[in-house]
Structures are given as C-alpha cells and as structure tokens.
Chain A
C-alpha cells in the first residue's frame, strides 16, 4: 500500500499515496479546487455540494468525479478546469446561487464560474442563504451535541432543531454558525446572553479577566466531558493562576 504514485493534475506531476483523496493531493501541490461542503476539520466529507468536481482520465476512460472523496488508486491524469468541468461547475454554482440568492459568497462564486445571465429564467428562494452543505450538522454531531439535523427530503430539505423548537441539546456554542460557509445561521448576542436556534443562553465570563468564556451550557458541557469541575476562569487565566501558584510554591524552596 505504501508505494508512492505519481499522477498528473493540470499537466503537473504530483506525488501521492494510494488511497489519498484527489482534492488533498491537489491542494498540497498548490492546485486549488473550489469546494463548499468540505472542511479540514472533519475526516469524512459529505461530497454533496458537488462543486469540487474534476475530470479523471484513467485507463483511457474519462469520468467526472468529486475530488474531495475520490481516492487515488492508480496513475491517472486529472483536469480541474476542462471544458466539461467549467460548464458543469458553472451550472452547479448557478443552481446554488438561485437557491441562496442572499449569500454573497455563493453569488460571486457563481459569477466567477460563468455568467449568471443564462439562468435568469430560474426561480430563486427569496431570503435564503443556506446551501445545505451540511457542515453545521457535521460540526454539531462531531462535538457530540447533536442538536440540529437535516429535516425533510428532496426539494423541501432544510436544517433545523427538532420541531423547529428550542432544543434542550443545544449548548449555544456557535460551532454551526462558525463552520457555515455562507453565514446562513444567524444568532444575536448582547452583554449577557446569546440567542441561536430560537434559544437564549446566558453567557459565562471569566471571574478574573472578565473575558467571555462561552455560554454557561457550553462551559458546563466542556467540563463534563473533560471530567473536571466547572471552571470559573478562562483558560488563559487558569494558566496564569497555575503559574502564580508555582511561583508561590517555589519561593519557599
């Protein structure tokens, strides 16, 4: 399994290990492939936005694959910007831009990929920013929170908490909002509280420096997971406190 392979991406020879994902090989070699539903934070990729498509020529056959989950198993030639890919990526992005017209990121990506003129005819989902990449759900699940999920199927699919109600599982950690590529998950925050997914959380501040540590629920959950007592001070201050204690101790040695 450890025999290194050399594949050609856009005319450039690239070394890789068998089984490595094509996207990763390209990125390592400085070849950028646009992608939306892929994040380095996760090992598994959902391969659902379909923006990272490339053409692979293998044993004389050319096929369109999604590079984020395509494992390189043998020598091949890869085209990230062939005529076919350019067209199909443009259509895919145009479809996303019509779905999420309020996302500047998506609309400008679509405009870059091709003009949107030919797609005037298509219907738009007014006010929508979500492209259903699923990164938010993946983030929430990977933290063991599991407060949100995809709901419904087909064209009615969306992301929400169960029954669209405030979820008892949510800890207001913002992982979902932070990982979202289009800023579709909204939240509000004032001096003492944060509201996300229709639930309001009290914020916890460091007793020493006064910095924000997160919501009470998030602080509590983190401590529970680590099996420690709930902290009153932030990480930085805790380290400082430790250092101070050490100083105190050693002063008498």
Chain B
C-alpha cells in the first residue's frame, strides 16, 4: 500500500464518523481492522478531526487490548488463556508455538508472517483448549497438532518440514 492510498483510507475511516470524541474508539478499531495496527499518522489525523490531543488517543490506544501500535503478522494466532483453557493446558500450546515460531505471546515472527497472542476467553470454554488462527477455531487441541496447523497457514516456500502432512 502506498502512502497516498493509506492516507485516503485513513481519511475515509475517520470521516465515516461525526466529529465527536465518543467515536474515537470505533474509529481506531476500524483502523486496526484495516491496517492490522494504528498508524501514527492515523492517530494524528483522528486527533485533528476530533479536536483532541494525540496524547488522549495514545492513552486509549495503549489501554485497549483490541488496539495495537505496531503492525501485527499476516496470520494472527490467538491462544485462549481463559480459565478453562488454562486448566486444560493452554500454556503448553504457547510453549509449542515458541518452539516452532520462536516467538512469545505478544510478539510477531521476524518474517512478519505470524503474531501470537494470549486472549482472555473466546467463549468456547467447553472445547478447551482453544486456539484461533485468523478467526478459525481449533478446539480441544493437543500439542502435537500445532505444527501441522501452523504449516497450513504458511506461504508455500516457507513451509517447514515438521508435521508437514
């Protein structure tokens, strides 16, 4: 995406809302959805539009977990760490992902392909432990299934050899 494209997308997102501070969160969520993070110029443009300071929006952007200030990976792996998943071993899913991708929850892989996140409860406790990749649920996961799932999201040339079936 070039800068002009990005700027016009930001403008479109912002101007979809009335210039009222109560829409700050919604506009930032839209940006998050569009860019996978909130670009600094987007935050500045929104502050201008709403007539508030950048500090006000920055405070919100760092407070709400749905918002992020750094770009996330192409594929987002969410490990549910709700209580049910925790009790059924969600930590082991994270350990296995660290082994495969070399990143901790909250980080993005060096190639920008995957982000791993802990999330608080995805509401599928009955199927614990749960991992969601790009919105698709993987339930009652066993550790040995993970590398296969991760590989299925990799672009072809970077496909690993482990669990490649």
* Contact assessment for A167 and B62 in the assembled complex, using a CB-CB cutoff below 8 Å: no
Given contacts A162-B43, A163-B40, contact A146 B56 (CB under 8 A): yes
* Contact assessment for A146 and B59 in the assembled complex, using a CB-CB cutoff below 8 Å: no
> How far is A151 from B56 in the complex, measured between Cα atoms in Å?
9
> How far is A161 from B40 in the complex, measured between Cα atoms in Å?
13
Q: Is B54 an interface residue (CB 8 A)?
A: yes
> 10 closest pairs, A vs B, by CB?
A146-B53, A149-B59, A162-B58, A149-B55, A162-B54, A151-B62, A152-B62, A153-B63, A146-B55, A162-B55
* Contact assessment for A146 and B52 in the assembled complex, using a CB-CB cutoff below 8 Å: yes
Q: Nearest-CB distance from B65 to chain A (Å)?
A: 9
Can you list, as one digit per residue, whether each of B38-69 has a CB less than 8 Å from chain A (1) or not (0)? 00100100000000111111110011000001
Q: Which residues of B contact A (CB under 8 A)?
A: 40, 43, 52-59, 62-63, 69
Q: Nearest-CB distance from B117 to chain A (Å)?
A: 16
- By beta carbon, the residue of chain B nearest A144 is B53
| Contact among B43, B53, B57, B63 with A147 in the assembled complex (CB-CB below 8 Å) | B53
Q: Which residues of A contact B55 (CB under 8 A)?
A: 140, 146-149, 161-162, 167, 169
* Contact assessment for B63 and A169 in the assembled complex, using a CB-CB cutoff below 8 Å: no
Contact residues of B: prevailing secondary structure: helix
- By beta carbon, the residue of chain A nearest B55 is A149
Q: Is A150 an interface residue (CB 8 A)?
A: yes
| Most chain B CB atoms below 10 A, which of A140, A145, A147, A149 | A149
Q: Nearest-CB distance from A210 to chain B (Å)?
A: 34
Other A-B pairs beyond A148-B55, A151-B62, A153-B63, 16, CB < 8 Å: A146-B52, A146-B53, A146-B55, A149-B55, A149-B58, A149-B59, A151-B59, A153-B62, A161-B55, A162-B54, A162-B58, A163-B40, A163-B69, A167-B54, A167-B55, A169-B53
> How far is A169 from B53 in the complex, measured between Cα atoms in Å?
8
Q: Which residues of B contact A153 (CB under 8 A)?
A: 62-63
- Interface size for A (C-beta < 8 A) is 15
Contact residues of A: prevailing secondary structure: loop
> How far is A153 from B59 in the complex, measured between Cα atoms in Å?
9
Q: Which residues of B contact A140 (CB under 8 A)?
A: 55
Q: Nearest-CB distance from A48 to chain B (Å)?
A: 15
Q: Nearest-CB distance from A170 to chain B (Å)?
A: 9
* Contact assessment for A151 and B58 in the assembled complex, using a CB-CB cutoff below 8 Å: yes
* Contact assessment for B63 and A152 in the assembled complex, using a CB-CB cutoff below 8 Å: yes
Q: Which residues of B contact A145 (CB under 8 A)?
A: 53
Scan residues 89-148 of chain A and give those whose CB is less than 8 A from a CB of chain B: 140, 145-148
23 A-B pairs within 8 Å (CB atoms) are namely A140-B55, A145-B53, A146-B55, A148-B55, A149-B55, A149-B56, A149-B58, A151-B58, A151-B59, A152-B62, A152-B63, A153-B63, A162-B43, A162-B54, A162-B57, A162-B58, A163-B40, A163-B58, A163-B69, A167-B54, A169-B53, A169-B54, A169-B55
- By beta carbon, the residue of chain B nearest A169 is B53
| Contact among B43, B53, B54, B59 with A150 in the assembled complex (CB-CB below 8 Å) | B59
- By beta carbon, the residue of chain A nearest B43 is A162
> How far is A149 from B59 in the complex, measured between Cα atoms in Å?
6
Q: Nearest-CB distance from B116 to chain A (Å)?
A: 19
> How far is A148 from B43 in the complex, measured between Cα atoms in Å?
15
Can you list, as one digit per residue, whether each of A45-60 has a CB less than 8 Å from chain B (1) or not (0)? 0000000000000000
Q: Nearest-CB distance from A142 to chain B (Å)?
A: 13
> How far is A163 from B39 in the complex, measured between Cα atoms in Å?
12
Q: Nearest-CB distance from B49 to chain A (Å)?
A: 15
> How far is A144 from B54 in the complex, measured between Cα atoms in Å?
13
| Most chain A CB atoms below 10 A, which of B55, B58, B63 | B55
> How far is A114 from B123 in the complex, measured between Cα atoms in Å?
46
- By beta carbon, the residue of chain A nearest B69 is A163
Q: Nearest-CB distance from B59 to chain A (Å)?
A: 4
Q: Which residues of A contact B69 (CB under 8 A)?
A: 163
Q: Which residues of B contact A169 (CB under 8 A)?
A: 53-55
